[in-house]
Structure 1
Amino acid sequence: MTPAPPLLAVAHGSRDPRHAAAMAALAARVRALRPGLRVDIGYLDHCGPRVPDRLDALADAGAETVVAVPLLFTPAFHAKQDVPDVLRHRRLTVRQAATLAPSPLLLAALDRRMREAGVRPGDGRYGVVLATAGSTDPEANAVTTIVAREWRRTGWCAVVPAFASVHQGSTIGAAIEDLRALGAERVAVASCMLAPGILPDRILEQSLAAGAEPVTEPVADTEEIARLVLVRYDAALPSRSRLSA
């Protein structure tokens, strides 16, 4: 039986060591869910190992096909330009999977973090800000808006999107004020980020400065995101190789 192609998780990378630790925890969860599948991480920037080095190592180990899963929520510049560019390899066929959002599994991971922070769906006291990085690409920001709308439909009283680096859409502070104007007694902020780093810290700072709490932790180290990575991996496999998580 032909072994399944290796899974290369493509992460953005950060100088903050918490980022790499969260990515390593996510990779460990993926391996635990799919024993026998080779799961590696390669970074686009700031830390290593870089994606080309990982691809070289996989080719040296005998791989012919690799499935690359971008650890990115939306189809912004990194997913559309940086990832395809870095995945070109003369010895490998590299299949690029879709980005992670939208997905019910992402909503489940956000739910998990909210419950851990003491906030539950249906609590009418709370409005929720879905906070992410933001992009110059309107398609990427539209995905965040879709996630907020779908999450609201699962039982949350009010969910609005906001962006830590505003190019289009609402700032985190403005979104918090909008929810208060709609009658929310309290505002919780869901950090729709994979791993700790500069932007999640900015989300926390902006949220606390506007009087919102709790602010949830990033979601990489959750079973739901590990399962989502495998869903994207399976969908990108050649049809004969497709497996179920």
Structure 2
Amino acid sequence: MAHGTRNPHGVALIGDLACAMRERLDVDVSVAFVDVLGPSPSEALARLNRETTVVPAFLGRGYHVRRDIPEHLSRPGLPPTRVTDSLGPSDEVLAALVDRLDEAGRRRGDAVVLAAAGSSDPMAVADVEEVADRLSSLVDAPVTVAFAAPSPRVAHIPSVAEAVSRTRGRVAVASHLLAPGLFQSRLCESGADLGARPRALPPHSLDRPGAHPPQPLPDRA
């Protein structure tokens, strides 16, 4: 179960993740979205009509994981479900972050901005800050947390563009996002020297007909 996006590349990528799970686990895998588009989690479960394991495709334990998904699963008439943990924070998420930064051309000494979607949920914010602390140790550089969509209830966390403008020297933006979409576009417009691709964007997915490869970020003034 993923968030949802109007970006067709992002939607296709979630489909790719489902296919990869299907191949690795040798089980049926369906996709549902909690926002923007459907089917919703409750709609998908109603169609399956059998005991199901729900995998929240989210990088932290925010509102959608702790409230939206349980609310859908509690609706009457649905089959019994088991729910896994969200994808992060985890060692695998940290390793993917470092890989994406290195792939983008990060150099030793670059400052790093960890850019997340944004949330007013304290647990989601704590998860992002934990990832930033651990990432700082892995890349041996300061890591600033920023939100693509800052919440007024979390005023101490700047937008990505603000965080980049406050940072001296070369700045690399680490995308704490799962798929391309509106928030990734905001990262590309932040003015950073370089930006990493979303977490789940494998190089071969860019070969899909109609896919749009990431564009280079403009030079900083």
Deviates more, 1:68-77 or 1:129-138: 68-77
Correspondence 1:55-204 to 2 at 5 A: 55-59=45-49, 63=50, 65-88=51-74, 89-119=76-106, 123-124=108-109, 126-167=110-151, 168=154, 169-180=157-168, 185-204=169-188
**Alpha carbon RMSD of aligned pairs, Å?**
1.9
Q: What CA distance in whole angstroms lies between the structure 1 residues aligned with 2:143 and 2:103?
A: 18
What amino acid is the match of 1:47? L
Q: What's the secondary structure of 1:15's corresponding residue?
A: coil
Structure of greater relative contact order (alpha carbons < 8 Å, 6+ residues apart): 1
Any conservation in 1 of the 2:98–2:139 contact (CA below 8 Å)? no
Other structure's SS at 1:139 match? helix
- Displacement, 1:55? 0.8
Match of 2:114, SS state, is strand
Amino acid at match of 1:141: V
SS in 2 for 1:11: coil
Question: Contact between 2:164 and 2:171, CA under 8 Å: does it hold in 1?
Answer: yes
The answer to whether the 8 A contact 1:26-1:222 is kept is: no
Residue equivalent to 1:29: 20
Measured after TM superposition, the shift of residue 23 of structure 1 is 0.3
Contact map agreement 1:23 1:221 (CA 8 A) in 2? no
Deviations 1:18-53 (A, max 9, x none): 22111011112222332x122211112322333223
Question: What letter is aligned with 1:217?
Answer: R
Match of 1:52 among 42, 63, 77: 42
Q: Deviations over 1:129-168 (max 9, x none)?
A: 0001111112211110100101111233221111111122
For residue 197 of structure 2, the aligned residue among 206, 210, 217 is: 217
Contact 2:42-2:78 within 8 A present in 1 as well: no
Moved beyond 3 Å, runs of 4+: none
State the secondary structure of the residue aligned to 1:101: coil
CA distance in 2, matches of 1:93, 1:221: 32
Give the TM-score normalised by the residue count of structure 2. 0.82
Return the offset for 1:222: 4.6
After superposition, give the CA deviation of every residue in 1:57-92 in whole Å (9 maximum; x if it has no partner): 221xxx3x2111111122222112211111235241
Confirm or deny: 8 A CA contact 2:178 2:199 kept in the other structure. Answer: yes
Does residue 39 of the first structure (1) align with residue 24 of the second (2)? Answer: no
Residue 195 of structure 2 aligns with an amino acid whose one-letter code is V
Runs of at least 5 residues in structure 2 that lack an aligned partner in the other structure:
204-221
1:93-150, Cα deviation, whole Å (9 max, x unpaired):
1122222221110011112211221225xx12x0110001111112211110100101
Note if contact 2:21-2:29 (Cα within 8 Å) is conserved in structure 1.
yes
Name the CA shift for 1:137/1:40 in 2 (closer, same or farther; >3 Å): same
Change over 3 Å in CA distance of 1:222–1:29 after alignment to 2: farther
Q: How many pairs were matched up?
A: 198
2 CA distance for matches of 1:77 and 1:96? 15
Q: How far apart, CA to CA, are the structure 2 residues paired with 1:31 and 1:109?
A: 21
